[in-house]
Amino acid sequence: MKKSLILLQLFLCFNVFSQTNERTLILMEKGSNLPIEGAIVVVLKTKQVLMSNSEGKVIFELKGGSNVKVTHSSYLPLVIKWTSLNLPENVVYLNSKLNTLDDIVVTKQHPQEIIKELVNNSIKRLNVPARLKAYSREFFKLNGNYAYFNDGLINFQLYKDQKKVKSVLLVEQNRSFGLVDDEISTDLLGYNLNISMEKYYVFTALRPLLDEKSRKKYNYLVKVYPLNQEYNEITAIPLEGTTELLDDFKIVYDVKRKLIIEINAEVSPITLANLKEDTSKGAKNIIRSVFKTNYRIDAENYYLISSKEEINYEVNTGNETKNIEVLNNLVTTNFNIQNYTYKESDVFKDKTLFNIKNSILTEYWNVSGLTPTTKELEIINKITKSF
């Protein structure tokens, strides 16, 4: 009788749990207990791709039994059995691949030539034609206050046209909330989705380093990537005293495959301090500029997995100076080399999701691939409840 009772309790627990598809992972570094941001989580059965936020958190739906694989360039990969994900929040620890050596790489090639080779090879290897399903999320701040928010599920169909990478956008679902100041041009609101993939796939962000004149503007350094011995890292820092708006660059690349894994570009406070303020009407004075992209190598496939762009500037409208900040995240949730079937009327031709009517069919943001942090969720809820 006692044995039967235990079996009944186990059955009831499993039955209740099986009806709840949502799973939560919190990824932590073993030893330090610090959260791991930017880890790629793949549900192996459905091939759904997710990314951990700054709290190390990933929330997703698990329909049926499927193991989950976690990878990060700085940590050993881990496969998690779905039967072990049985708590409201499942803490998972990853072992670091930390290489304590900070080795400078001596090379006959100038680092600029290495970057050119990496860009050319990476463009050739990126899968095109292909399609990416991506989750896009954007916050807009006006004078320091969160004033607008939008997100959406977007299908990007990538193809080549006369050796240029082009994209067709199909918006599957979206939502936008907030008030926008009428005096601010819509061109200033948000990043242009119709050119985002095109610039990520031809590495537009690295063009300043490909100019021959850049050798006289930057200090270059090549070293072993401190978090993974299979990668090298190239840094390009503007020379001291520069008066141009130049980014600090960091490029992480796979040494054997000669493929770009990560790009970071950010204008440093030192560079910003040396810039002369433009007080003319309509002028934009940069306060902060951040750009980051990550690419994934999966067997023979190579594609964009995430991007992060932030811009903060002051604009002189004539009557006053306004502070504008836009924060954009995009994560690829599904990759496929097949083409979409679509009608021309389905194609999204606008620049941002700000200007189109909301289309909410499901709570897609809960399985978007990018879980909001506690602070971000608080902001989203505050804005959406206001309208």
In a domain, 102, yes or no: no
For residue 154, the 8-state DSSP code is E
In a domain, 103, yes or no: no
In a domain, 99, yes or no: no
- Of 94, 125, 155, which residue sits at a domain end? 94
Per-residue buried b or exposed e for 275-290, using 16+ beta carbons within 10 Å of the residue's own CB: eeeeeeeeeebeeebe
Q: Can you list the pairs that 374-383 forms with residues at least 24 positions away whose Cβ atoms lie under 8 Å?
A: 374/55, 376/53, 376/139, 379/139, 379/146, 379/149, 380/149, 382/146, 383/146, 383/148, 383/149, 383/177, 383/178
In a domain, 161, yes or no: yes
In a domain, 60, yes or no: yes
Q: Order the strands of the 57-61 sheet from edge to edge.
A: 57-61, 22-29, 90-94
Give pLDDT, residue 20: 52
Return the ∠ at Cα 183 (arms to 177 and 187), rounded to 5°: 70
Residue 294 and residue 255 share a domain: yes
Residue 51 and residue 183 share a domain: no
Please provide the distance, in angstroms rounded to a whole number, between the alpha carbons at the two ends of the chain. Answer: 57
Which residue range(s) make up the domain with 278?
111-385
Residue 343 and residue 201 share a domain: yes
Residue 331 and residue 273 share a domain: yes
In a domain, 104, yes or no: no
For residue 96, the 8-state DSSP code is B
Residue 285 and residue 260 share a domain: yes
- Of 69, 94, 119, which residue sits at a domain end? 94
* CATH number of the domain that residue 24 is part of: 2.60.40.1120
Look at the chain and report how many structural domains it folds into.
2
Residue 147 and residue 231 share a domain: yes
Residue 60 and residue 17 share a domain: yes
Q: Order the strands of the 231-238 sheet from edge to edge.
A: 164-178, 145-161, 130-142, 321-336, 301-316, 284-298, 259-266, 248-254, 231-238, 218-224
Residue 32 and residue 174 share a domain: no
Hey, CA dihedral for 103, 109, 113, 118, is it positive or negative?
Answer: negative
| Beta bridge pairs of residue 161 | 164
| pLDDT (tens digit per residue) in 7-21 | 334 333 334 334 457
Q: What are the tokens at 302?
A: 């190579």
CA dihedral 59, 60, 61, 65 (to 10 degrees): -100
Give pLDDT, residue 356: 81
Return the ∠ at Cα 272 (arms to 216 and 286), rounded to 5°: 115
Strands (E) in 255-375, as ranges, are 259-266, 284-298, 301-316, 321-336
Strands (E) in 124-266, as ranges, are 130-142, 145-161, 164-178, 218-224, 231-238, 248-254, 259-266
| Helix, coil or strand: residue 151 | strand
Residue 137 and residue 77 share a domain: no
Residue 170 and residue 31 share a domain: no
Give pLDDT, residue 188: 52
- Of 65, 94, 123, which residue sits at a domain end? 94
In a domain, 138, yes or no: yes
Residue 189 and residue 242 share a domain: yes
In a domain, 85, yes or no: yes
What string of pLDDT tens digits covers the 387 residues of the chain? 444 443 334 333 334 334 457 889 999 999 899 999 988 898 888 888 888 988 999 988 777 788 999 988 788 889 999 888 888 789 999 988 765 555 777 677 899 999 999 999 999 999 999 999 999 999 988 888 888 889 999 999 999 887 788 999 999 999 988 755 555 555 456 788 888 999 999 999 999 999 988 899 999 999 988 767 789 999 999 998 888 999 999 999 999 999 999 999 999 988 998 888 888 888 889 999 999 999 999 888 999 999 999 999 998 888 888 899 999 999 998 899 887 788 888 899 888 887 788 999 988 887 788 888 888 888 888 877 765
| pLDDT (tens digit per residue) in 242-267 | 889 999 999 999 999 999 999 999 99
Write the CB contacts of 266 (distance below 8 Å, at least 6 apart in sequence): 247, 248, 289, 290, 291
Residue 332 and residue 217 share a domain: yes
